[in-house]
């Protein structure tokens, strides 16, 4: 059996790009703290829930070197996954923008507790569905991110390593490039006036063993305070409504709601996600923020 650390789908990755790209570290130009919670497919028992906490910042005013930390917690069914990662990014000027090159390294901790499964007769049909399956193994990721005042583009593989379970039910690191999930993101900012801007973007997720996943997004930005947007997730057949509020120059609150357009719509009331971002730099201004 081959397993990889799960990279959950999020709708708030435009607020915290560190979730999908290690090179995003430090690109906010300040110490940025991000907290998010996602409850997927509400009303479905055992559906995924994802929580993430991250910090990242340049280490000096030149913004060439940046460091970051992230911890995330994913539950689905009787499985609980924890990820703890450190980030390093090096940022250089390129043309009219900056190119960031990032690395991610840390640990994936997973526990599948089959004893929590409930069967109609109280006994599992398969004797193997008992006990725990656990592992604590290293993982790493790599990414590139280019941005300027008008557009951004990123390419990353957030989790390079995969794990294989042997006949003793023990997991070992087994790199397999065919299981890489590659992320490509890009977007631009269209200014109609100082009070109204539009930010269209796209996210593509590719793996050799899974269907191509594409998210098409657009955000309407009103006076740099209210962000109203939407996405369409093609493979999942989900429409996403996004509402972000820049409460203060440092604090941004976001909420997204995913509505299933496929067969899952018969079983769930949708997916909810909230995010908080706080930037510890009073020079950050709501009248001239960084959009990417």
The pLDDT value recorded for residue 3 is 56
The DSSP result for 243-258, as a single string, is EEEE-SSSEEEEEEEE
The DSSP result for 3-40, as a single string, is EE------S-TTT-GGGT-GGGTTTTSS-EEEEEEEE-
- Residue 85's domain comprises 2-279
The pLDDT value recorded for residue 142 is 97
List the beta strands (DSSP E) in 59-177. 65-76, 79-94, 97-113, 132-147, 151-157, 162-165, 171-173
The pLDDT value recorded for residue 60 is 82
The pLDDT value recorded for residue 51 is 95
d(CA 120, CA 125): 10
Any domain includes 194: yes
Any domain includes 290: no
The pLDDT value recorded for residue 289 is 60
The pLDDT value recorded for residue 284 is 45
Any domain includes 245: yes
Tens-digit pLDDT string for the chain (292 aa):
555 556 777 888 888 899 999 999 999 989 999 999 999 999 888 899 999 999 999 998 777 999 999 999 999 988 999 999 999 999 999 999 999 999 999 999 999 887 766 655 555 555 556 667 889 999 999 999 999 999 999 999 999 998 888 777 788 888 788 888 999 999 999 999 999 999 999 999 998 888 899 999 999 999 999 999 999 999 889 999 999 999 998 999 999 999 999 888 888 899 999 999 999 875 444 434 678 8
Say if residues 146 and 152 touch (Cβ distance below 8 Å): yes
Which of these, 261, 259, 279, 280, lies nearest to 270 by C-alpha position? 259
Say if residues 169 and 175 touch (Cβ distance below 8 Å): no
d(CA 67, CA 107): 17
Q: CB-based contacts of 266: which residues, under 8 Å, 6+ apart?
A: none
The pLDDT value recorded for residue 73 is 95
d(CA 221, CA 110): 40
Any domain includes 289: no
Any domain includes 292: no
CATH code of the domain containing 177: 2.40.160.40
Any domain includes 175: yes
**How many domains is the chain partitioned into structurally?**
1
Question: Which long-range contacts (C-beta less than 8 Å, at least 24 apart) are formed by 206-210?
Answer: 206/181, 206/182, 207/179, 207/180, 207/181, 207/182, 208/178, 208/179, 208/180, 209/178, 209/179, 210/181
């Amino acid at each position: 059996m081959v397993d990889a650390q799960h990279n959950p789908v999020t709708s708030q990755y435009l607020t915290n790009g560190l979730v999908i790209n290690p090179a995003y570290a430090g690109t906010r130009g300040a110490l940025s703290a991000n907290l998010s919670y996602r409850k997927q497919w509400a009303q479905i028992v055992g559906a995924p829930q994802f929580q993430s906490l991250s910090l990242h910042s340049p280490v000096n005013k030149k913004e060439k070197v940046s460091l970051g930390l992230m911890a995330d917690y994913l539950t689905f069914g009787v499985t609980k996954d924890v990820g703890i990662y450190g980030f390093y990014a090096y940022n250089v000027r390129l043309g009219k923008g900056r190119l960031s090159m990032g690395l991610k390294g840390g640990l994936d901790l997973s526990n599948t507790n089959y004893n929590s499964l409930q069967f109609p007769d109280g006994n599992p049909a398969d004797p193997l569905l008992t006990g725990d399956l656990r592992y604590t193994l290293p993982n790493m990721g790599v990414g590139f991110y280019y941005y300027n005042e008008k557009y951004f583009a990123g390419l990353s593989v957030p989790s390079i390593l995969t794990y294989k379970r042997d006949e003793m039910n023990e997991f070992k690191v087994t790199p397999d490039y065919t299981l890489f999930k590659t992320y490509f993101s890009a977007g631009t900012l269209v200014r109609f006036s100082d009070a109204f801007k539009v930010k269209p973007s796209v996210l593509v997720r590719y793996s050799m063993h899974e269907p191509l996943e594409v998210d098409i997004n657009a955000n309407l930005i009103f006076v740099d305070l209210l962000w109203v947007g939407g996405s369409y997730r093609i493979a999942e057949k989900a429409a996403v409504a996004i509402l972000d509020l820049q409460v203060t120059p440092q604090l941004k609150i976001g909420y997204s709601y995913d509505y299933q357009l496929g067969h899952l719509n018969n079983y769930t009331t949708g997916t909810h996600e909230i995010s908080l971002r706080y930037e510890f730099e009073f020079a950050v201004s709501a009248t001239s923020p960084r959009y990417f």
